[in-house]
């Protein structure tokens, strides 16, 4: 056994899968679109000597149920909150530190590949492209490019990793619902930039693969400039999936960040003053 075996629970009537490794303070690893908890294995096992690492499969991803329902960011966040509550993890859901890895929501730009995935009727095309033989051939192309020292090889293989889980119709539907909640043909539809001030007292690490052509690394640099006391790390060997392309490097910067920062303990009662430092005032009418 790898020490990162799947556990199953029923949440709101649907199957949810999560993986756990190690013991100690909790670290929650959340995958992105088309990934799953199993993709965190090499990072999780490198942290498991000192931490309890929990990695859930988001709704419709990995082995969690693909249901007809809400695939918005809020729905995914709520499902993670509920899962952690059920398994008894309290402080991780009252976040003590935040790490964003090649994150969306920090700028408008995104790769043409992701923008095209928001087009109507794209599901059938993805089904054709995600055929195992085509993906195997593309992987070999990427491997040959990497052997020749061509940086595009890492990107080609990153695309293949993204497409492999989409062979099944349920997985394709979940991916498209999630993607279209945040991306359209013009780029990213949602932005967290106006909320970055909330991280002023939160230890924050931003990590980006230097070969990322999916979301520009400049988004990470801009966030680093906007968030006081944040840390910014880049991984030269990685593209958009550092946990797969350089798990050793990602685990190293995660461990260094956790061990070199003090946890933030912001209680629920404090959030009002953080969100709006000035107390609300009654608005005076024009006739007053």
Q: What predicted TM-score, i.e. pTM, was given to this entire model?
A: 0.82
3-state SS, residue 11: strand
- Output the pLDDT for position 49: 95
Over the stretch 15-29, which tens digit does the pLDDT of each residue have?
Answer: 899 999 999 999 999
Given a contact cutoff of 8 angstroms between Cβ atoms, the answer to whether 51 and 25 are in contact is yes
- Output the pLDDT for position 280: 67
Candidates 264, 194, 255; CA nearest to 229 is 264
- Output the pLDDT for position 217: 97
Examine the pLDDT at 271 and tell me if it is beyond 90: no
How far apart, in Å, are the Cα atoms of 75 and each of 78, 87, 143, 200? 5, 19, 37, 25
Q: In what order do the strands lie in the sheet with 231-235?
A: 98-101, 204-209, 231-235
Name, in order, each residue with C-beta under 8 angstroms of 89's C-beta and a sequence gap of 6 or more.
26, 28, 54
Sign of CA dihedral 184, 186, 187, 190: negative
Over the stretch 31-84, which tens digit does the pLDDT of each residue have?
Answer: 988 788 999 999 999 999 999 999 999 888 877 877 777 888 888 999 999 999
CA 288/CA 283 separation, integer angstroms: 10
28 dihedral zone (left: phi>0; alpha: psi -120 to 50; beta): beta
Given a contact cutoff of 8 angstroms between Cβ atoms, the answer to whether 56 and 18 are in contact is yes
- Other C-beta atoms closer than 10 Å to the C-beta of 275 total 10
Structure tokens at 169: 């119709």
Structure tokens at 160: 């293949």
- Output the pLDDT for position 256: 98
- Once rounded to an integer, what is the mean pLDDT over residues 234-241? 92
Residue with tokens 């956790």: 258
């Amino acid at each position: 056994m790898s020490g990162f075996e799947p556990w199953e629970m029923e949440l709101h009537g649907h199957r949810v899968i999560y993986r756990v490794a190690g013991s100690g303070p909790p670290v929650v690893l959340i995958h992105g679109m088309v990934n799953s908890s199993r993709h965190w294995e090499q990072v999780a096992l490198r942290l498991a000597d000192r931490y309890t690492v929990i990695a859930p499969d988001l709704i419709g991803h990995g082995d969690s149920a693909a249901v007809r329902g809400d695939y918005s960011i809020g729905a995914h966040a709520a499902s993670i909150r509920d899962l952690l509550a059920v398994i008894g993890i309290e402080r991780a859901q009252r976040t003590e530190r935040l790490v964003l890895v090649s994150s969306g929501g920090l700028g408008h730009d995104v790769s043409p590949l992701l923008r095209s995935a928001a087009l109507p009727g794209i599901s059938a095309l993805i089904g054709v492209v995600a055929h195992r033989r085509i993906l195997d051939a593309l992987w070999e192309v990427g491997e040959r490019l990497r052997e020749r020292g061509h940086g595009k090889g890492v990107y080609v293989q990153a695309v293949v990793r993204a497409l492999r889980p989409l062979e099944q119709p349920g997985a394709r539907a979940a991916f498209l619902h999630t993607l279209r909640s945040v991306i359209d043909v013009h780029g990213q539809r949602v932005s967290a930039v106006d909320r970055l001030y909330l991280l002023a007292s939160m230890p924050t690490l931003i990590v980006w693969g230097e070969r990322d052509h999916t979301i520009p690394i400049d988004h990470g640099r801009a966030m680093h400039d906007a968030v006081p006391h944040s840390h910014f790390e880049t991984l030269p060997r990685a593209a958009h999936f550092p946990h797969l392309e350089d798990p050793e490097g990602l685990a190293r910067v995660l461990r260094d960040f956790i061990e070199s920062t003090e946890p933030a303990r912001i209680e629920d009662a404090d959030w009002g003053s953080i969100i709006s430092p000035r107390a609300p005032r009654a608005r005076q009418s024009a006739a007053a």
